[in-house]
Amino acid sequence: MLRFIVRRILQAIPIFIGITAIVFALANLAPGSPADVVAAAGNLPEAAYEELKTALGLDKPLPVRYALWLGRLLHGDLGFSSNAHRQVWDLIGQRIGPSLLLAGTAILLALTVGVALGVMAAYRPYSRWDNISSALSFIGVSTPNFFLSLLLIYIFAVRLGLLPAQGMYYTGHKSLSGLLLHLLMPASVLGLQMVGNFVKQTRNSMLTALNEEYIKTARAKGLGEAAVVLRHALRNAWIPVVATLGMTVPTLVGGAVVTEQIFGWPGIGSLMVHSINTRDYNTIMGITVLVSLGVLAVNIVLDAVYSLLDPRIKV
């Protein structure tokens, strides 16, 4: 197991470097720069503008700037935010907690609903539950998260007044109940996007498992249906579900950018949008480092989990 993890980490290093190089190039080749943003806001003279570009390192060629940034990264330095005038680590540290809370709640919601509906759909194929599961999967996959976000805000915040539309807490009052009320809509939007994949994978793998010989043997021994379905069939059906979980992490990150912006959730996604608008290169790269390392780490862990779920799989 240790050799497998080390090998996967070594394989992830060039992937990580490739991700950061591509994002660094795209960010720096886009029109505008941090110096242009400051100059537009403060009407800087030409001499001061050139001094600012030199101070930010924008006068160097792009490959040199990437090499210098990568060297600082190896020392744990993500640089200084040109917009907030603070260390990037501090900005990310403030936003990572809310993002993890939102993402974790969305994944838990999607797994719970998706696996439950998938099991019921497989146990009673072409029944009412199967039709409901298929309909929910179609809605979740096909509906853009910005449209669903605005729809939920209109229904539950504007028309019914049951849920808050913006922020993480009520103004001037931080409480657990307020946090849960603010969390409900954005987590539901992100979770519904992932439910469809979990339903489909769970249903397909459960249908296969329920037709295996060991299931027939378990029933012949007199085991109850709950034990047959949940203890025997579902355990072997988890492998595709875990694989789907690894593939939904990048989708979750992309959806969080839009969802956090619409609901005013103070997470990494909204910080990324603000950093792109202000051409804050260091913050953009800091978030890229965090997200890419997180996605790579999750997939390495899930690969190792496969062998725990099914002893026949060797790492």
DSSP states along 55-106: HTTTTS-HHHHHHHHHHHHHTT---B-TTT-SBHHHHHHHHHHHHHHHHHHH
Q: What is the pTM of this model?
A: 0.84
What confidence tens digit (pLDDT) does each residue in 254-274 have? Answer: 778 889 999 999 999 889 888
The number of angstroms, rounded, from the C-alpha of 189 to the middle of its chain's C-alpha atoms is 13
Question: pLDDT (tens digit, 9 = 90+) per residue, 62-71?
Answer: 899 899 899 9
> 105-137 burial, b if ≥16 CB within 10 A, otherwise e?
bbbebbbebbbebbbbbbbeeeeebbeebbebb
Residue 183 reports pLDDT greater than 90 = yes
> According to the model, what pLDDT value does residue 286 have?
92
Q: Which is more confidently placed, 229 or 267?
A: 267
**CB contact set of 287 (below 8 Å; sequence gap of 6+):** 92, 268, 271, 272, 275
Which domains, from first to last, does the chain contain?
Answer: 88-309 (1.10.3720.10)
